[in-house]
Chain A
Amino acid sequence: MSAMLLPLADFTAPKIEYNELAPLLVVFGAACVGVLAEAFLPRQLRHLVQLTITVVAVVVSGVLTGMLMNGKKEIIAAQGAISVDGPALFTWLILLALTLISVLLFAERSVDGGLSAFAGQAAAVPGSEAEREGTAARIEHTEVFPLTLFAVGGMMLFAASNDLLVLFVALEVFSLPLYLLCGLARRRRLISQEAAMKYFLLGAFSSAFLLFGIALLYGYAGTMSLGGISDALSTDTGNDTILLAGTGLLGVGLLFKVGGVPFHSWTPDVYQGAPTPVTGFMAACTKIAAFVGLMRVFYVALGGSRWDWAPMMWIVAILTMVVGSIVAITQTDVKRMLAYSSIAHAGFLLTAFVGLAQAGSGVHNGGITSTQAVLFYLVSYGFPTIGAFAVVTLVRDAGGEATHLSRWAGLGKKSPLLAGIFAFFLLSFAGIPLTAGFTGKWAVFSAAWTGGAWPLVVVAVLSSLVAAFFYVRVIVLMFFSDLPADSPDVALPGWQTTSAVALGLAATVVLGLVPGPVLDLAARAGEFIR
């Protein structure tokens, strides 16, 4: 009978599961409201309103996510485009929690003479009269808040995308705001703009790789959906060239976002140039989204060809750990050092990813799976990271943040509390027991070993040693060096930075001492569904 009707009537409205997608929709909706607020509200009101919108949206979205997790309903939503499964919900929750802390840092105005870390007018030429006027008039870019919302919405979508096309769209949605945010630093604007430019160009290249990979995989499987590709893998044995080329190109694009060697070269420059609160946000949240996306694509869609890509990933994991740790030793800038440290951490995460310990394949009841380990590690890495960058914003001299390591000499004398907290974060990065970093490392190593990748574990512990060296060097510098005469000041933080640091510290301690609840939560997240 339907053949009798016009073709238009064949169109059935797509079924959208609004309940399950509510966390995403809240964030994107709030971002749009933020854009409108930016356009219509008078300047004085914007900061407060934007901050309120952002915080409320993030909190509401977080609560909704929590409710979904409680409901334990895992579905493929939006006609197979988005997978709202356990790992996705867990990722949403940590992304939102870390975004909340980052947003607090974005809103901080008391460390730099009543102005935020963002440029007054990004369009004004650095050092020009217009820039000075803007500063004098206390103009600031409150667009950062909706941009952040778009970014975090994109990340959430990225981590949950069940379709390569959605994956790509999500990637762009979260990357473009980040490019902008990177270029908005109030201090050292040239280096900030350079960072944004580099990030944008290299990011565009990597997007192209990703897109090419998607096209090839589509050519191989005839579908974009992750489940469909997996099915094609299990039935079709021909045309491996396209499959391998597609996998490789897709891997390049994803590893770029993760910061895996040899696709890491943007990280130090961008981390150094971007406004420090943005660096913290990127270091924590981008890594989380990118990693979950990477795991989803490779586990769900390409799990059937794991023997093809696993060897290459072994090499990337080893390179990432080794290069990240060794090159970090030579860094003289705190932010660059933390950038290389984040690369090394990506390497540790990759060990668990490559280990591929999944329930049913080597993991017995109660054992740690790769997904669980990676999710836990991302939590245990995210909080100290933002906390550490928050500390970096506080060490200042006349030119803004004093990020050169030599300027941190003797900080332990000047502000034992701040230096002590930073040292604690560094110890956590180094994986010293009783910190979050240790339990995280333990989890990924055991997942890697369970999957049979014990050589990676050995490389990882040796890289940890090298990494420990450069973390300890900073501690030595802060506590064991004499205070130079022209040492930078430690700014008195407002409540925003204070709470960001305090939250980071609390999470680092709690996850180090009683990681059980979060581990269980990550275990309950289970595996990716398709």
Chain B
Amino acid sequence: MNIGWLTLLLLLPFVGAIVTMLIPKAKALTAKQVALGFSLVTLVLTVIVAIGYHRNGPDDYAETYTWIKAFGAHYALGLDGVGVVLVVLTALLSPIVIIASWNDAQSGRWSEKSFFAWILGLEALSIGVFSATDVFLFYVLFEATLIPMYFLIGGFGGPQRSYAAVKFLLYSLLGGLLMLASVVGLYVVSAKHGAPSYLLTDMMKLDISQNTERWLFLGFFFAFAVKAPMVPFHTWLPDAAGEATPGTSVLLVGVLDKIGTFGMIRFCLGLFPNASQWATPVVLVLALISVLYGALLAIGQTDIKRLIAYTSISHFGFIVMGIFALTSQGLTGSTLYMFNHGLSTAALFLVAGYLISRRGSARIADYGGVEKVAPVLAGTFLFAGLSSLALPGLSPFISEFMVLAGTFSRHKVIAVIAVLGIVLAALYILLMYQRTMTGPVRAGIEKLKDLNAREILAIAPLIILIIGLGIFPKPIVDIIKPAIDSTMQRVGVTDKAPQIPVTEGQK
């Protein structure tokens, strides 16, 4: 039954943000509890929706209302396999970040409560982005997510946060505005075919001339490439993630950047299938460069948070590669990768945040021998690191394998070179672990406290999911698969080799 589930999912965190904001400044604790409560209720609802989607399919969740008739814009929400996975990821990471950042916002520029209100606002907008089925609505929400993220980075974090926030904003706006040009172009194409409509279903029927399609594709792709981020539009990410609080970084890399790769699947492939195929060689090379360049730069970092940011650039390279390999295995792998990367990077950022908040420094050189003083912290850090480098048995391994296998079936050379990325991943993670956790205990580390119950509570769900999905990824693959199949059909490609069903391949 359709009772506007998605609207509810979108409104709940939004209302939570307003309620949190209204609580008096002095009662920061109440505000935090309220924010946590709202995010938990949203998570429960999201799980219900996801289960319902798994059972009954997408029809129960579609909502369409005319919004601005003259523009052909609709308030249209709906889910597909890719969308569900990312909505779940968003709803999952928000409470985790709230718990993990419980005390992180005290030294911010503004009151503590506003940090949590912005997180809820971001959650609402992100859920909207992942479920919008109208291009105009998507664009509006896509741009609107910048505002909470801008204030999260600029208000709470390191000394250079203002600079990082503005850099983030300008890069994103550059991409967003070029996309606006393409969105406007889509309108013009649509208006030529009769009554303009931005609904995805209507847009897909449009017959766009080759040149126009390519230009429009470029506008969208550029925005998503900045968002994802891909080399050479990546320089804002290390600054932003390095300056923001760990919680903000988790949302930035775990949720917000996924909009880029999500958009590539839903909009680039969905609306401009021919142009996507046309652009594949260049995109794959860029993705490959992202994989290797991100990993190499990660090895060279001296700052833990910046290092993690560069690992993400490498990971996003893999995701984009899987998408544009245009095989069902690659696309499914990429979607799964988005989810798994959200989990593993969240774990990595949060544990690194715990570490940094104890010592007050993000420099790798300031640490050493932590595992002797705080074994639980070191253990979770190792676990998060191993999941990030895609250790077999943990969930990121499956997705990385699928991406590489999917790419290999079509683009052998690129896949072979990309495998180097795995080797480099082992290097940057293990080197970081070795330098910070092992060896003699450094001065200033001796009295490092181990993780407390709250911190463990925040990280535990991530660890459980990473192990669980590493062993049994079937449910999530089942959800993703149909959406990927229809995307493949839309693009007009089929898998090359006689195909072995994806899930069985991993058993």
Taking Cβ atoms with an 8 Å cutoff, the residues of A that contact B are: 363-368, 372, 427, 432-434, 438-439, 441-443, 445-446, 449-450, 454, 457-458, 461-462, 464-465, 468-469, 472-473, 476, 479-480, 514-516, 519-520, 523
Contact A445/B180 with A366-B191, A433-B139, A468-B170 known, Cβ cut-off 8 Å: yes
Contact A458/B140 with A364-B194, A449-B188 known, Cβ cut-off 8 Å: no
Identify which of B169, B174, B178, B183 contacts A472 (C-beta below 8 A).
Answer: B169
Across the interface, which residues of B come within 8 angstroms of A520, CB to CB?
Answer: 69-70
**CB-based contact B71/A454 at 8 Å:** no
Q: Does B144 contact A (CB under 8 A)?
A: yes
Contact A367/B196 with A465-B173, A519-B70 known, Cβ cut-off 8 Å: yes
Contact A461/B178 with A433-B143, A516-B69 known, Cβ cut-off 8 Å: yes
| In the complex, residue of chain B having the shortest beta-carbon distance to the beta carbon of A416 | B110
B155 CB to closest chain A CB (Å) equals 8
B353 CB to closest chain A CB (Å) equals 22
**CB-based contact B70/A464 at 8 Å:** no
Contact A446/B184 with A363-B191, A366-B196, A465-B170 known, Cβ cut-off 8 Å: yes
Contact A476/B166 with A433-B139, A442-B180 known, Cβ cut-off 8 Å: yes
Other CB < 8 Å A-B pairs besides A367-B196, A468-B173, 11 of them?
Answer: A366-B191, A368-B70, A432-B144, A449-B184, A457-B184, A468-B177, A476-B162, A479-B109, A480-B109, A480-B154, A516-B67
Q: Does B195 contact A (CB under 8 A)?
A: yes
Contact A367/B191 with A472-B169, A520-B70 known, Cβ cut-off 8 Å: yes
Band of interface residues on B: 35 or more
**CB-based contact B181/A458 at 8 Å:** yes
**CB-based contact A366/B195 at 8 Å:** yes
A472–B71 Cα gap in the complex (Å)? 28
Contact A461/B143 with A367-B196, A446-B188, A516-B67 known, Cβ cut-off 8 Å: no
Identify which of B141, B146, B181, B195 contacts A461 (C-beta below 8 A).
Answer: B181
**CB-based contact A433/B194 at 8 Å:** no
Q: Can you list 17 residue pairs at the A/B interface with Cβ under 8 Å?
A: A364-B192, A365-B194, A367-B196, A368-B191, A432-B147, A433-B139, A434-B144, A438-B143, A442-B71, A454-B181, A457-B184, A472-B166, A476-B162, A479-B155, A480-B109, A519-B68, A523-B70
A479 CB to closest chain B CB (Å) equals 8
Q: Does B187 contact A (CB under 8 A)?
A: yes
Residues 113 to 166 of chain B near chain A (Cβ within 8 Å):
139-141, 143-144, 146-147, 154-155, 162, 165-166
**CB-based contact A465/B174 at 8 Å:** yes
A472–B177 Cα gap in the complex (Å)? 15
Q: Does B185 contact A (CB under 8 A)?
A: yes
- In order of increasing CB-CB distance, the 8 nearest A-B pairs are A433-B140, A461-B177, A367-B191, A519-B70, A433-B143, A445-B184, A446-B184, A480-B162
A433 CB to closest chain B CB (Å) equals 4
| In the complex, residue of chain A having the shortest beta-carbon distance to the beta carbon of B171 | A465
A129–B154 Cα gap in the complex (Å)? 51
**CB-based contact B177/A462 at 8 Å:** yes
| In the complex, residue of chain B having the shortest beta-carbon distance to the beta carbon of A444 | B184
**CB-based contact B169/A464 at 8 Å:** no
A248–B29 Cα gap in the complex (Å)? 67
**CB-based contact B154/A476 at 8 Å:** yes
Per-residue contact bits, chain B 216-244, to A (CB 8 Å; 1 contact, 0 not): 00000000000000000000000000000
A523 CB to closest chain B CB (Å) equals 6
A519–B144 Cα gap in the complex (Å)? 22
A457 CB to closest chain B CB (Å) equals 5
| In the complex, residue of chain B having the shortest beta-carbon distance to the beta carbon of A363 | B191
Most buried by B among A367, A454, A468, A515: A367
Across the interface, which residues of A come within 8 angstroms of B154, CB to CB?
Answer: 476, 479-480
**CB-based contact A516/B70 at 8 Å:** yes
| In the complex, residue of chain B having the shortest beta-carbon distance to the beta carbon of A412 | B110
B132 CB to closest chain A CB (Å) equals 12
Across the interface, which residues of B come within 8 angstroms of A365, CB to CB?
Answer: 194-195
A514–B196 Cα gap in the complex (Å)? 17
Across the interface, which residues of A come within 8 angstroms of B188, CB to CB?
Answer: 446, 449-450
Identify which of A363, A434, A454 contacts B185 (C-beta below 8 A).
Answer: A454
**CB-based contact B140/A438 at 8 Å:** yes
**CB-based contact A439/B170 at 8 Å:** no
A515–B192 Cα gap in the complex (Å)? 22
Across the interface, which residues of A come within 8 angstroms of B181, CB to CB?
Answer: 445, 454, 457-458, 461
| In the complex, residue of chain B having the shortest beta-carbon distance to the beta carbon of A432 | B143
Across the interface, which residues of A come within 8 angstroms of B162, CB to CB?
Answer: 476, 480
Per-residue contact bits, chain B 333-356, to A (CB 8 Å; 1 contact, 0 not): 000000000000000000000000
A514–B68 Cα gap in the complex (Å)? 7
**CB-based contact A461/B180 at 8 Å:** yes
A31 CB to closest chain B CB (Å) equals 36
Across the interface, which residues of B come within 8 angstroms of A469, CB to CB?
Answer: 166, 170
A304 CB to closest chain B CB (Å) equals 25
B66 CB to closest chain A CB (Å) equals 8
A472–B174 Cα gap in the complex (Å)? 14
Most buried by B among A438, A442, A516: A442
Across the interface, which residues of A come within 8 angstroms of B191, CB to CB?
Answer: 363-364, 366-368, 450
B402 CB to closest chain A CB (Å) equals 35
A520–B169 Cα gap in the complex (Å)? 33
A365–B146 Cα gap in the complex (Å)? 35
A476–B146 Cα gap in the complex (Å)? 14
Across the interface, which residues of B come within 8 angstroms of A476, CB to CB?
Answer: 154, 162, 165-166
Per-residue contact bits, chain B 179-223, to A (CB 8 Å; 1 contact, 0 not): 011011101100110111000000000000000000000000000
